[in-house]
Amino acid sequence: MLHLLRDSRFGRLLAVRLSAQWADGLFQAALGGAVLFNPEREADPLLVASGLAVMLLPYSLLGPFAGALLDRWDRRRVLAGASLLRAVLVTGVAGALAAGWGGPGLFALALAVTGVNRFVLSGLSAALPHTIADRAGLVAANTASVTAGAAVAALGAVCAVGLRAVFGSGDAGSALVTLVGCLGSVVAAGLALGFARRGLGPDGDHRDHGDRIGVLRDVAGGLLAGARATAATPAVAAPFLGLVAHRLAFGINTLLMLMLFRAVFTAGVGGMLGVGAVVLLTAAGLGAAALLTPWLVARLGITTTVRVALGGAAVAQLTVASALVLPVVLVTAFALGVCGQVVKLCADAGVQAGADDAVRGRIFSLFDAVFNVCYVLAVTAAAFAAPPDGDSPALLAVAGVLYLAGLGAHIAYGRFIRSYRTYV
């Protein structure tokens, strides 16, 4: 990590990521607290699921097309402009909370914030290779930046929990906590402007105001281009299958944990404090994954590393399904943080090392779209199947089976690729 920071370009891009993800972690926790743990509001599993669907699905449909713009527009200007726009939108959400808004109106504003933030994160991932002089260090750079970003997002969530204790848990307090998140976005915008023009790509002689028909064609074909590039690159496609399984399982876990800490785990480390503990332990798992992933990849290779992580996640998930008590839940949060992040780091490294810069933004946007859709589908299915208090070992076991299915898909894809190459 320290040798990477000697390159000022990587250090600046990392600072942009940390600022943006701290703001995102705080925003998500503030909004979740306002909806789920606000004494002035009531929320059931279906309301939580509908809120996530409203916030994620519309962007999921537009994300791949936005990815085409990341491969044409100056990513420096995209990061700066999107960060400032996010600060304005967060201010709007804070105003809506203060006014007592709920339901579709509040979720629509939150959707806009989420969409812009995902656009920023896709741009950061696509820009990373432009800040690394030695491509051999790409896996380490990706591991460091993604893991540090996720950890800082968790820190932002913890800050939201602490600020709720200061400002209060009602509508006015929730609005003030949400408003604090604007600071991170403003800092991220200022840092992004410090890069040279085109310093973050895309490569080639692309022009921001060139052939408008060509722009429209690229935008309209964003999803297809990302899918083709993913399928054509085994180092991208294989971990992608494991990540799909992880997002499905994560959706089920998210819904059940929110309900459990709202209705069952209420004493001691319970309620919003319990959610904060889960977030912290998951973040600790992400940090462990940052240290573990390079070591595993160097000794086992990326393919085996992904399979070990998926197998470990399945074991952890089935363990909590068989013993749904608070200590096991907290340990499992750490274990799943490790395993899920190992798979993600391997997938991101595959995209950054194996995909051409001309389509890298579209691939990351495709990833976002597919993962968001899987996440919302899993949350929605769990909302219909789970009891109101979230106490459902059977659904947790289903999540474990999903991890096993992801492992099976990863193995089957590897065998298919080997057979195809032998045949050709």
Q: Are 350 and 235 in contact (CB under 8 A)?
A: yes
pLDDT averages per 10-residue partition of the chain, 424 residues: 70 94 92 72 69 66 64 86 94 93 80 82 85 74 83 90 88 93 95 90 59 55 69 76 92 90 76 82 88 89 92 97 93 95 86 70 75 87 88 95 94 71 46
Cβ neighbours for 266, distance < 8 A, ≥ 6 positions apart: none
| pLDDT at 400 (0 to 100) | 96
Terminal Cα distance for the chain, rounded: 42
Query: Tokens in use for 186?
Result: 């403003």
CB-CB contact of 120 with 20 (8 Å):
yes
Do 265 and 389 contact (CB within 8 A), yes or no? no
Which is the CATH superfamily of the domain at 4-204+211-423?
A: MFS general substrate transporter like domains (1.20.1250.20)
Question: What is the C-alpha to C-alpha distance for residues 256 and 275, in angstroms, rounded to an integer?
Answer: 11
Q: What pLDDT, on the 0 to 100 scale, is given for residue 159?
A: 92
Only one residue has tokens 């669907």, namely 53
Kindly report the pTM of this predicted structure.
Answer: 0.73
* Predicted local distance difference test score (pLDDT) of residue 371: 82
Q: List Cα–Cα distances, 211 to 63, 77, 218, 224, in angstroms.
A: 22, 20, 11, 20
φ, ψ of residue 200 to 5 degrees: the values are -110, 10
What was the pLDDT predicted at 401? 97
Per-residue model confidence (pLDDT) at position 216: 55
- At 210 the pLDDT is 47
Task: Give the phi and the psi of residue 82 in degrees, each rounded to 5.
Answer: -65, -35
Distance, CA of 326 to CA of 7 (rounded, Å)? 44
Confidence at residue 207, expressed as pLDDT on a 0 to 100 scale:
47
Instruction: Report which secondary-structure segment, H or E, holds 408.
Output: helix 393-423
Identify the pLDDT of residue 114.
Answer: 81
Query: Are the CB atoms for 396 and 324 separated by under 8 Å?
Result: yes
- Nearest by Cα to 409 from 224, 226, 237: 237
| Cα(420)–Cα(290) distance, integer angstroms | 34
Quick check: 336 and 344 in contact, CB under 8 A?
A: no
Give the pLDDT confidence score for residue 220 in this predicted structure: 57
